[in-house]
Amino acid sequence: MKAWLAGLALLLTAVSPARADTRWTLVKTYPHDPAAFTEGLLIHDGLLYESTGEVGHSGIRVARLDDGKVLRRVTVPPPYFGEGIVIWKDRLVSLTWRDGVGFTWSPETLTKTGEFRYPGEGWALTHDGRRIIMSDGTPDLRFLDPETLQETGRVRVHTADGRPVPMLNELEYVEGEVLANIWMTDRIARIEPASGLVIDWIDLSPLVRKAQAAGAKGPDDVLNGIAWDAKARRLFVTGKNWAKLYEIRLRK
């Protein structure tokens, strides 16, 4: 617990002095299952893929964007706590939190096709077209070989004055940057993946307040979930147990 509190204090120190980037606009609001404890989010072939956490409630689902209707789903059974997901070619890859085991699935049928191991915790996944990028709750981003799912390197995420930024959570690769939810905050870090430098912050506190007004009340109902529709160039965000999915546009 002391280590966790120290990490949180370091995080707050790291992000508080930074200039928050509030240059975004809300484009559209979509329905989202308020019972979904969101861990991973992505868009694939026009559909929303989402992984959910908590032991006994973990799973992966595919839903339509416009009405939130779940088209198919699969359970990640106990004792596993489901975490982030990514699609690479014909495989959907998923993590678990503290068990050091991940799974591969068919994106079309959600049939499990394999599993793999990794050290430490698993929090989130994305890819840059060459590598899978993984967060583990520390300030580090790991790079994985997308075929073997073995680590090939890592980078430490830090502010311009060198302070590490811990608790990197849900990830999304967007046009050369890694966007990362910072757990228990209302901000998304914009990260330069080669150096790990946080080049700016996206302050979504107004959107968090909107989600809270729509029913997100619990202490764990935090901002977590970023999905980028590269074909249509649309960015979506949500949170754990939020009743809405929000499409936003960044104004760089």
- Tell me the pLDDT tens digit for each residue of 94-138: 999 999 999 999 999 999 999 999 999 999 999 999 999 999 999
Q: What pLDDT does residue 220 have?
A: 82
State percent of the chain over pLDDT 90. 84
Residue 1: pLDDT band with limits 50, 70, 90: very low
Give pLDDT, residue 211: 85
The mean pLDDT of 53-68, rounded to a whole number, is: 95
CATH number at residue 197: 2.120.10.30
By CB atoms closer than 10 A (0-12, 13-18, 19+), residue 63 is buried
Q: Each residue of 187-208: pLDDT tens digit?
A: 999 999 999 999 999 999 999 9
What is the pTM for the complete model shown? 0.91
Q: Tell me what pLDDT residue 5 has.
A: 44
Q: What is the mean pLDDT of the chain?
A: 91
Domain tally, the chain: 1
Number of other residues whose CB lies within 10 A of the CB of residue 247:
18
Distance of CA 179 to the CA centre of its chain: 9
pLDDT of 210 = 87
pLDDT of residue 22: 63
Residue range(s) defining the domain that contains residue 73: 2-250
pLDDT digits (tens, 9 = 90+) for 152-178: 999 999 999 999 999 999 999 999 999
**82, pLDDT greater than 80:** yes
Q: Which pLDDT belongs to residue 215?
A: 74
pLDDT score, position 17 = 42
Which pLDDT does position 70 carry in this prediction? 95
